Each structure stands twice: as structure tokens, then as C-alpha cells.
Amino acid sequence: MRLQVKGVCFSYGSVSVLEDVTFKVQAGETLGIIGPNGSGKSTLLRCLARVLKPRMGTVFLDGKNLAALRGREVGRYLGYVPPPGTGQAFPCTVLETVLQGRRPHLTWGVSHGDLAAVTRALAYLGLTDLGERQLGELSSGQRQKVLIARALAQEPEVFLLDEPTATLDIRYQLEVLARMRELATEQGRVVVMVLHDLNLASRFSDRLLLLHNGRIVAAGTPKTVLTPENIRVVYGVEAVVTETRWGLQVTPVAPLDMTGTKGMAKVVLAARG
């Protein structure tokens, strides 16, 4: 399965949010979408998930125009996980919530295969013991993992995740991102994730897409995208980028308007507390 995006543009009314976004993601590859607030990351992911309709441009799945596919067929190809806090916790159990991911595959009722897929998804993310718990009883981080499990149970070819680790603690951030990377490398899935943490994006992405004001500023390996110059231009921050065995380490130093001698002194004093 290959995801191909050609010339996607999107506007909210007269406000342009995405302009001429074009890229490809191959099977077995993980793409991290990064950029400052308001750069169009979530909007792009919603366009890929067919939640939003682009003003211009086309999204292809293995050469098929996504807009031409029927709803159930899209559900078999694409698994979308919205950002944390989207919607409300409905009065249903974790098991029932994850089972919703099987809707594109259901015929007359829930089969043994459907239940097996749900069981695998829960076990994959360490949620088996929470199966009978009500969704509303869980922490925000646990609920986020349940939504990811729902997408896993769907067994799509392409995973689209919007800030999947935003409400997770450090341990579960690493666990979830490692699992998603594993799905790509070992099962040949396509994984596209919107991430704010540049260090996690570097570590768990094969390639990065850097957005700014709705346009692609840089695309490529983490090493070619996460440069001090790109971070300065896009984020307005001076940063030090260091190569480590676990990926690039991005250390923000100060906003550009605080990089003078006095400004840097203030930053150092603030860091020391």
C-alpha cells in the first residue's frame, strides 16, 4: 500500500490553511508531520482521513482516488485516531469501544475473527485487563490508548494518528510509538503521525514533513529536516541539534527575540530557577 498526496489545498472560508501539499509514503514507512501551532498539521491529517474535503488536490491509495471510495472501503484502508480530547467518553466499555473498529468488516454480526482482532489490539497495547471498564472511568491517557487500539482492531493498511502521545506519560509514549513503528517495519503498514515532540518525531519516524503556514518547508530524513536553520525559520527558536544513538536530540535554547546578550542571560537565569 502506498499513500500519495498531490497538490492538496484547503481553506476555512477565505482563510487558506494548506497550499499545494504533495508527498508520498511507501508501505513499511513511518512519516512524522511536524510544525508549529497553526501550521496545518491536523487539517492535513483530516484531509487524508476524508474527514475534510480538500479545496484542490487528490489523495491516492495505491493509485485509487480516495474521494471515489465508499465509506466501508475507506474504513478498510484507513485507520484514523483523532487528537486527545476530541469528542466525549460514551457509556460503553473498553471492549465495546475497540470493537467499533471492526465496523468496516462486519456483515451480519460480530464474528470470531472480529473478536480475535479486538483481543489482539487490546493485548498489543497492554489493555487486556481494562476490557470491562467503562471508558469514562479511565484517565485521559488510557482513553487515548483505547482509541489507538480501536484503530488497530480495524486492521487498516494506513494509520493516521493526530498527536497520539499528547496525554501519555513517558513510558507509554515510547511504548505506543514503538508499536506503531513496528506495524510499519514488520507488517508493511503505512503510518502517518502528527507529533509535537521533535525528539520523539526524530526517533520514531523514517521521514519527516515540516509544515509552516500550510506549506511544506522541508521533507526527508530527520537529519536533513531537523537542522538548526529550519528550526530557527519555522519555530522562531535557536536550538542545538545533537546526534545520539537514539536519534537526534533537539535542545531549544531561546526564542529569537531573546537571543541577544541580555535575553540569553534571562534564559539562563530562568533555567537555573
**Sheet containing 158-162, strands listed edge to edge, beginning at the edge strand earlier in sequence:** 78-81, 158-162, 190-194, 30-34, 207-212, 215-220
Compute how many other C-beta atoms are within 10 angstroms of the C-beta atom of residue 9: 16
Q: Contact 153/117 with Cβ under 8 angstroms?
A: yes
| 102 phi/psi in degrees, rounded to 5 | -90, 0
Same domain, 38 and 108: yes
Considering the domain architecture, whether residues 126 and 199 belong to the same structural domain is answered as yes
Look up cell 454480526; give the residue. 109
- 208 and 255 together in one domain: no
pLDDT in tens, the chain (273 residues): 699 999 999 999 999 999 999 999 999 999 999 999 999 999 999 999 999 999 999 999 988 999 888 878 888 899 999 988 765 556 789 999 999 888 888 777 788 888 999 999 999 999 999 999 988 888 888 989 999 999 999 999 999 999 999 889 999 999 999 999 999 999 999 999 999 999 999 999 999 999 999 999 999 999 999 999 999 999 999 999 999 988 899 999 999 876 554 455 454 445 444
Are 239 and 160 members of one domain? no
Its pTM stands at: 0.89
Element (H, E) at 194: strand 190-194
CATH code where residue 88 lies: 3.40.50.300
Q: Who's near 78: CB < 8 A, 6+ residues apart?
A: 48, 49, 50, 61, 66, 156, 157, 158, 160
- Output DSSP code: residue 206: S
> 164 and 257 share a domain?
no
Domain that holds residue 253: 227-273
